[in-house]
Amino acid sequence: MSKEKLTPSERAILRELIFAESFSHLVSETGFTFGTIRDDLIKLINHGYVEVFDQDFTTSVSPFYDSDNIDQFCFKATKTGLKNIQNYAI
């Protein structure tokens, strides 16, 4: 993904994940649909931009999470993900 640009929705999701947040927080803050957030999160996770945590924010479950029940996890941008959105800062 290093040569591929992030979509506006992926950048918005990464900006919300500076701190660990739940899936429901992403839905309420971004205004994107469940499917859009799910698809973007899976792409960001697969490229190492987002780390997946259990619902207590205590244990990283990356890369072993249930993508069918992605709304039961919490997420946080990785160092790589944060550097990527930093490149878009004005």
> What is the pLDDT, as a whole number, of residue 58?
74
Question: 40: domain CATH number?
Answer: 1.10.10.10
Structural domains counted in the chain? 1
If pLDDT is split at 50, 70 and 90, which confidence band does 59 have? confident
Query: Could you tell me if 50 and 17 are in contact, meaning their C-beta atoms sit under 8 angstroms apart?
Result: yes
| Residue 70 belongs to some domain of the structure | yes
> What is the pLDDT, as a whole number, of residue 5?
83
Secondary structure E strands in the chain? 21-22, 50-53, 74-77
Structural domain of 76: 8-86
> What is the pLDDT, as a whole number, of residue 4?
67
| Residue 3 belongs to some domain of the structure | no
Q: For the segment 18-44, what is each residue's pLDDT rounded down to a tens digit?
A: 999 999 999 999 999 999 999 999 999
| Residue 63 belongs to some domain of the structure | yes
Average pLDDT, the chain: 86
| Residue 39 belongs to some domain of the structure | yes
